[in-house]
Amino acid sequence: MEKGESRVVIGGSGSGKSVILKHIIGILKPDKGNVFIDGIDLKTLNEEKLYDVKKKFGMLFQMSALFDSMNVWENVGFVLLRQKKKKPAEVKEIAIEKLRMVGLVGIENLMPSELSGGMKKRVGLARAIAHEPEILLYDEPTTGLDPIMADAINDLIIMMRERLSVTSVTITHDMNSAYKIADSISMLYDGVIIETGTPGEIRNTGNPVVRQFVMGSAVGPIKIEGVSNERIFDRA
């Protein structure tokens, strides 16, 4: 991937999308193959060096994964508070600034349990950008949100790239979102990237598997787990 690129990985449930993200950021270690970040093979790094590389990343989780024992600004300022280079009051100021960037004002003292799903996503995004990472990873950023909130999150992802010039990898199965935020889209099927192209190329693809997925059709070469194809064809 190029610096500053926005890549979206699409694929069905259980195709290995989340696993890709966890490998990129080094939470999981690959059984086979290598992950290179800025030319460095993560496999060759010891634990301490790996944590240095992790500082280049920010990640937005599907369910936001906010720390429920801390309030909103402590969540956003988590890394800065731990680095202890700044006083808590300064960190709080930075957290409020990051929250404003994602469109949230006046909620810094609330607990995560008091927030709606969309707000949690925004706080999660503010936390992911608080330590000014170079690479942002989004794990199904629009899943579980209403269409309007989902589009607002898409706009935020685009804004992050434009204002912070970060590289981003998004995994999703929301095609509206994918077309909107991607420079390029890769389709993951059965653990293998079967096609990569611009949103336009993917939309008009000749590959029947990709075609079925982007059209959102139950009928086609992709089998639905646990459901026999005959039944679907009967119904169709």
Partner 1 sequence: MIEYIEKVGKIVIAIAEELGRILLLLFNVIKQIFLPPFEVRNIFKQMMEIGVKSLPVVIVTAFFTGMVFALQTYTGFQRFGAQAYVGTVVALSLTRELGPVLTGLIVAGRAGAAIAAELGTMRVTEQIDALETLATNPVKYLVVPRFISGLLMLPALTIFADMIGIFGGYLVTVGVFKASSVVYWKRTWDYLEVSDIYNGLIKACFFGAAIALISCYKGFYTSGGAEGVGKATTGAVVLSSMTILISDYFLSNWLFK
Site for partner 1, rule CB under 8 A: 22, 25-27, 47, 51-52, 54-55, 57-59, 61-63, 65-68, 78-79, 82, 84, 127-128, 131, 137
CA 23, CA 220: separation in Å to the nearest integer? 30
Q: Do residues 78 and 124 make contact, with C-beta atoms less than 8 angstroms apart? A: no
Given the complex with partner 1, which of 62 and 172 has the nearer CB atom? 62
Instruction: Tell me the closest approach of the beta carbon of residue 14 to partner 1, in angstroms.
Output: 15
Instruction: Tell me the closest approach of the beta carbon of residue 154 to partner 1, in angstroms.
Output: 21
Instruction: Tell me the closest approach of the beta carbon of residue 216 to partner 1, in angstroms.
Output: 27
Residue 108's nearest CA partner among 119, 171, 117 is 119
Instruction: Tell me the closest approach of the beta carbon of residue 68 to partner 1, in angstroms.
Output: 8
| 157 CB-side CA count, 13 A | 34
Instruction: Tell me the closest approach of the beta carbon of residue 205 to partner 1, in angstroms.
Output: 32
Given the complex with partner 1, which of 12 and 58 has the nearer CB atom? 58
| 102 CB-side CA count, 13 A | 27
Backbone angles phi, psi at 80, to 5 degrees: -65, -40
Given the complex with partner 1, which of 63 and 215 has the nearer CB atom? 63
Given the complex with partner 1, which of 137 and 145 has the nearer CB atom? 137
Query: DSSP letter at 224?
Result: P
CA 150, CA 37: separation in Å to the nearest integer? 29
Ramachandran assignment for 107, one of left (phi > 0), alpha (psi -120 to 50 degrees), beta (any other): alpha
Given the complex with partner 1, which of 55 and 223 has the nearer CB atom? 55
Q: What is the chain's Cα-based Rg?
A: 19
